[in-house]
Structure 1
Amino acid sequence: MRVHGTDVRQNALTLLRGGARNADVARRLNVPLGTVSYWLHMDRAKRGECPGSRNPECPRCDDRALDGSAYAYLLGLYLGDGHISHYSGHRVPNLMITCGDAWPGLMDEAERAIRTVFPENGVCRVRRTGCHNVKVYSKHLTCLFPQHGAGKKHERRIALEDWQQAIVDRHPWELVRGLVHSDGCRTMNWTTRLVGGEVKRYEYPRYWFTNTSDDIRQLYTDTLDTLGVEWKHCTRAGRPYNISVARRASVALMDTHVGPKY
């Protein structure tokens, strides 16, 4: 195991306290990202800045202003690839949005949304095989995401509360973006047609959304209906896991307001 000297650690902490990102410090000093994250955590603990050491205000408990657009997008990410957990040793739960390494832009958008919704809380990225967890600690996670519960999302009922639905009604495209960016994609399909006796190939874009929760798919399609986007179920193993948007006008709407992950 490689041992890093005190001077390297202090240099890293100086950069981190100055606002540098963990990954940038790791690359600059040739130190594993996990080591940099651990140094930052311990430094924050010594200075009383660990999660739970302060009491940030909550939009639900304290009537703090909530950015509806950022929240609707983050809600979509949470319902797709998000998870709230409470590990032993931590005093507060954490929200993790899992983003594949193939989509660095998605990681950036997820982090921006979390920072906007939780402006007083620290946000970090935790490296995993093939992905990163964009993570925040807060005592008020279940206030903002009451859909949290025991077990997998598709094994329990998922329904928006009235205040959440009101936000989605004001920012429907942001919810759709979050859902597609988490559990969806934009692909190019192709087909052939016989034209003048000659077989020609045609390509056309299509949006997919795949989720095993009937409730989450219903939330997605209900929102598409309000936006005038045509969709259809495509079965997999006899079950309608996939939602397809392939009509030209509907794809154009999705391109304008959602776009592919990047």
Structure 2
Amino acid sequence: MKCAGVPFSEIHRRLGLSRNTVASWIYGARATRITDDRCPFCSRPSRPVDRPSDYAYLLGMYLGDGHLLTTRRVPLLKVACDLRYPAVIAEVGEAMLACGARTVGHQRRDGRDDVRSWWVHWPCLLPQHGPGKKHERRIALSKWQEEIVDVHPGRFLRGLFHSDGCCTQNRVVRNGKEYSYRRYMFTNKSADIMSECQKALDRLGVVWRMCSPIQLSVARRDGVAVLDHHVGPKS
């Protein structure tokens, strides 16, 4: 009917279906198709970034709490941040701008701030985007991304821990005496993302251990000191 010139509103009215259902039929295939020729910034997905340190941080945040919506309109990158940490929110926005985005917006609801940026180049810079949840699909860094993380593992870890990590005070009782020590925890259901976190920690010489298949802990004093330098407390 669309090809016959029948208006969109008339189509869903005649069929008795919702606008969203009809729209997914008509526009669904093209909505998920992003081609390099749409992006004026590069001719291939592997274009290097101008500010690799900020990109490494944004990549970590994206792998943790980010989502890239790709449509035939301008792609939208969203990173969900806890409203309790305004400094993290500000740093995410600054990283988006440092990577080349012209504007950054905010959508606040349910105790979080979705830092948002519309840009045609996001699918090129974040090729890990795709349908479904990250832990239910393969996540692998491109060669150029690995090279950036190799040089800036601390910034990458800062993004990962700012999204899905925390620094806690752990207390244990041994021989009737209570001991307290700080430790960093990282939790993510994706085995691939967890592996990237482990490799970045290895690059910095930080000893880690797995508390469970989805949770990593850094508790040795020297390792905590390294993460204090690169990550630090959320604020």
Could you state the TM-score of these two structures normalised by the residue count of structure 1?
0.71
Equivalent positions of 1:1-262 (< 5 A) are 57-58=41-42, 66-86=50-70, 91-119=73-101, 121-194=102-175, 199-235=176-212, 240-262=213-235
Aligned counterparts of 2:43 and 2:221: Cα–Cα separation in 1: 40
Tell me how many residue pairs correspond in the alignment: 198
- In 2, are the aligned partners of 1:60 and 1:144 still within 8 Å (CA)? no
Matching residue's letter, 1:258: V
Aligned counterparts of 1:78 and 1:62: Cα–Cα separation in 2: 18
Moved over 6 A (4+): none
Aligned counterparts of 2:43 and 2:59: Cα–Cα separation in 1: 15
Aligned counterparts of 1:68 and 1:144: Cα–Cα separation in 2: 11
1:35-78 Cα distance to aligned partner (Å, 9 max, x none): xxxxxxxxxxxxxxxxxxxx763596796752000000000000
Matching residue's letter, 1:206: R
- In 1, are the aligned partners of 2:139 and 2:192 still within 8 Å (CA)? yes
Indicate how the Cα distance of structure 1 residues 234 and 140 shifts in structure 2: closer, same or farther if over 3 A, else same.
Answer: same
- In 1, are the aligned partners of 2:54 and 2:98 still within 8 Å (CA)? yes
Indicate how the Cα distance of structure 1 residues 60 and 107 shifts in structure 2: closer, same or farther if over 3 A, else same.
Answer: farther
CA drift at 1:203:
1.0
- In 1, are the aligned partners of 2:49 and 2:99 still within 8 Å (CA)? no
Unaligned runs of 5+ in 1: 1-54
- In 1, are the aligned partners of 2:46 and 2:124 still within 8 Å (CA)? no
Unaligned runs of 5+ in 2: 1-38
Matching residue's letter, 1:261: K
CA drift at 1:200:
2.5
The structure whose RCO (Cα within 8 Å, separation 6+) is larger is 2
Say which SS state the counterpart of residue 208 (structure 1) adopts.
Answer: strand
Indicate how the Cα distance of structure 1 residues 189 and 63 shifts in structure 2: closer, same or farther if over 3 A, else same.
Answer: closer
Indicate how the Cα distance of structure 1 residues 65 and 217 shifts in structure 2: closer, same or farther if over 3 A, else same.
Answer: closer
CA drift at 1:193:
2.7
Aligned counterparts of 1:242 and 1:68: Cα–Cα separation in 2: 27
Aligned counterparts of 2:164 and 2:42: Cα–Cα separation in 1: 28
Aligned counterparts of 1:181 and 1:216: Cα–Cα separation in 2: 14
